[in-house]
Structure 1
Amino acid sequence: MSALEASPGRRGSRRVTVVAAVAGAWLLAYLGNTPLWDLLVYRVAGLDADSRLGSGVHFFLADTVKIVLLLAGIIFVVTVARSFLSLERTRALLGGRREGVANVAAAGLGIATPFCSCSAVPAFIGFVAAGVPLGVTLSFLIASPLINEVAVVLLYGMFGFKIAALYVGSGLVIATVAGYVLGRICPPHWVEPFVYATTLRGVPVAPGQRLSWDDRIALGREEVGKILRKTWPYLLAGIGLGAVIHGWVPADFFARWAGAGNPFAPLVAVLLGVPLYSNAAGVLPLVEALHAKGVAMGTVLAFMMSVVALSLPELILLRRVLKPQLLATFTGVVATAILITGYLFNAIL
């Protein structure tokens, strides 16, 4: 074999080696992120893990790195994958006629990939940029933080099978229906234009355009840089707010104003839940405590859902990729669905 014939093979081997090394470094950084900040914040800096300051500082640093890693990894992979898809193929797979089924599938995928609300945003950006219909992507965005297997197991242990099953079923319905409705009433141009625009070395790239592997990798790298530059101030603001309110939940105030006998209890629960930021497993101890104080099950589940599906930090981060009309509509539709669920559960439980 001549040197000229071997050259492409050697370039391919080097490319695979570099990509594998970067992927390995990414995985190590992601897996080691929380232990690293445990060491630096609690052992080196000496902050108390049980204090508001210590847990807040740890939350901000660990979540910032985690979400940047997720954003970079997901955007890179989705951009490279998208470079293989033609516009016609994407439409055939995800067209409007199958949108209802796709909403259910997206909600199911969200359950299988249990991110917190801010961590789900990078996947949302990647899916929209890849040509997935907006409503279908929103079903994923709602379901991913709303339901996860840890929360389901804990709910089962605390309240039994019936409550756990109702929670999963209602979360799936909320994500599917809300995503479908939003897809029907919200036009795609309510998403910021940069999410849809893909360029390679400053030149627009059409879906399915013939590209070399070097071009595809460069495309993914450039797309990661572009989106990080566009979103980092919102990302830091959202996570910073989450760190400030992390661990702060007005349990006594909640029990007083959303307790049994108050017909507006689910509404109070949703209004209190939206500004907070936690995952489903993290808020469950409070759910158990509130229920023990006499707060109705529908009310505490509505509170839990609003905390994990509509956090204020998530909405700040989403503002960089969604225009105000879509952000407001998204919040209103999901909050209304959660509110209805709370009243329904109070009526039947």
Structure 2
Amino acid sequence: MFKIFWDFFQNQVLGMKWLNKVIGGGLSAAGLNLESKTGASIQFFLYDTIKITVLLCVLIYLISYIQSYFPPERSKRILGRFHGVGANIIAALLGTVTPFCSCSSIPLFIGFTSAGLPLGVTFSFLISSPMVDLGSLVLLMNIFGTKIAVIYVLVGLVIAVAGGIIIEKLHMEKYVEQYIKTAGSVDIEAPDLTKRDRLKYAWEQVAATFKKVFPYILVGVGIGAFIHNWIPQSWIETALGSSNPFSVILATLVGIPMYADIFGTIPVAEALFAKGAQLGAILSFMMAITTLSLPSLIMLRKAVKPKLLSLFIGICTGGIILVGYLFNLLHLYLV
């Protein structure tokens, strides 16, 4: 009984399969041949754009409401109560309920670092925040299923915790820019928000994030539609399939210079998966884009010196590649 309910929830609520049928029926009634590449591309584009937009708005609303209970001042106090590996774990978990992309996470990282929190702890937060937010869990469930989504989040948290611990053990504090160290922190008590204030804040976050993210959704869905209907499956299998032992490395290196968030990468991942790309290569591609985008690295360079930045890139890249090969090994058992 539970399995029937869960399959319905995953396919019809999260996956909105009914919406795909409605769009297909409408396009057919308008005289469009859905068997053609053009017709199939238009159906894919409309379906994925509407589906992801709806999920985006609902998720941002819910997560922003949760975020209203964790302003920077409160998050700093929470992190300050823990020490050692426990602090890294809490920082990584806090990252799951904070901004959706790495560029948004960096100002919080700078604030936490200048407040005197251990550098390794703040880096655990910085790695976790764009890679494993709650939105990614729900969207990955939509495409790959619950098992893969949960494992993805867990290994992302492991990368965040391990990366922070490594940076802490290497004592890299001297490679933080001086102005960050001397900035200090002003403790401002966040006002007590009423339920109405929190609901208003959540709506404002939906509007602001949607405006910022929607162009990337359109680009991602457009690329996904092109891959899904115009790129031969043999090409994808050659580059990212099981026949290429370097598919994970290739996917990671291709993803690093790009900039998008989890919502923009989902339709591309969906199309690659349908075309026969290996699971590990797809997830490495997504992790590289969300965690190591070029704009975020440029912003981070303003806060840390090249040696620490290089270490951060190396840890994240190595972790992403290892995770990719792990998922490739488990592909047959998970899919």
TM-score (norm 1): 0.59
Cα distance in 2 for residues equivalent to 1:127 and 1:148: 19
1:79 is displaced (CA, Å) by: 8.4
Alignment partner of 1:270 is 2:252: yes
Q: Does 1:320 align with 2:305?
A: no
Deviation at 1:81, TM superposition (A): 10
Matched, 1:302 2:287: no
Task: State how 1:85-124 maps to structure 2 within 5 Å.
Answer: 93=81, 98-124=83-109
Deviation at 1:148, TM superposition (A): 2.0
Distance (whole Å) between structure 1 residues aligned to residue 223 and residue 249 of structure 2: 16
Q: Distance in 1 between matches of 2:252 and 2:261?
A: 15
Deviations 1:229-266 (A, max 9, x none): xxxxxxxxxx9xx99xx759695576642233100000
Residue 165 of structure 1: SS of its match in structure 2? helix
What CA distance in whole angstroms lies between the structure 1 residues aligned with 2:223 and 2:177? 33
Is 1:184 matched up with 2:169? yes
* Corresponding position: 1:146 with 2:136: no
Query: Which residue in 1 is equivalent to 2:239?
Result: 257
TM-score (norm 2): 0.61
The Cα of 1:294 is off from its aligned counterpart by 0.5
Mapping 1:76-225, distance limit 5 Å: 93=81, 98-198=83-183
User: CA 1:254–1:124 in 2, change beyond 3 Å: closer, same or farther?
Assistant: farther
Residue 313 of structure 2: aligned partner: 331
Question: Contact 1:124/1:140 (CA < 8 Å) preserved in 2?
Answer: yes
Secondary structure of residue in 1 paired with 2:289: helix
Aligned pairs (5 A) from 1:41-80: none
How far apart are 1:166 and its partner, in Å? 0.9
The one-letter amino acid paired with 1:300 is I
2:283 is aligned with what amino acid? L
User: Which runs of 5 or more residues in structure 1 are unaligned?
Assistant: 1-76, 199-204, 217-238
8 Å Cα contact 2:272-2:282 kept in structure 1? yes
Per-residue deviation, residues 11-50 of structure 1 (Å, max 9, x unmatched): xxxxxxxxxxxxxxxxxxxxxxxxxxxxxxxxxxxxxxxx
Deviation (angstroms), 1:150: 2.2
User: Aligned partners of 1:192 and 1:181: how far apart in 2?
Assistant: 19
5+ residue gaps, structure 2:
1-70, 190-211
Cα separation, 1, equivalents of 2:153 and 2:73: 32
Distance 2:238 2:99 in 1: 32
Give yes or no for contact 1:147–1:280 (8 Å, CA) kept in 2. Answer: no
In structure 2, distance between residues paired with 1:343 and 1:254: 17
Is the 8 Å Cα contact of residues 266 and 298 (structure 1) preserved in structure 2? yes
Q: Could you report, residue by residue, the CA deviation over 1:155-212 in whole angstroms, capped at 9, with x for unpaired residues?
A: 11222111111111111111111111122124201110000113xxxxxx7x89xx9x
Q: Is the 8 A contact 2:259 2:295 kept in 1?
A: yes
| Residue 343 of structure 1: how far off its partner (Å) | 0.3
Assess if the C-alpha contact under 8 Å between 1:265 and 1:299 holds in 2: yes
Contact residue 254 and residue 269 of structure 1 kept, 8 A? no
Q: For residues 266 and 273 of structure 2, what CA distance do their matches in structure 1 show?
A: 10
Task: Count matched residues.
Answer: 230
The CA deviation string for residues 286-341 of structure 1, in whole angstroms up to 9 with x for no partner, is: 11110111101111011111111111110011111110000001000111001000
CA contact (8 A) 1:280 1:304 kept: yes
Identity of aligned residues (%): 41
Q: CA deviation at 1:152?
A: 1.3
Read off the aligned partner of 1:304 and give its amino acid letter: M
Query: In structure 2, how many angstroms separate the alpha carbons of the residues matched to 1:171 and 1:288?
Result: 19
CA contact (8 A) 2:130 2:291 kept: yes
Say if 1:284 and 1:323 are closer, same or farther in 2 by CA, change over 3 A: same
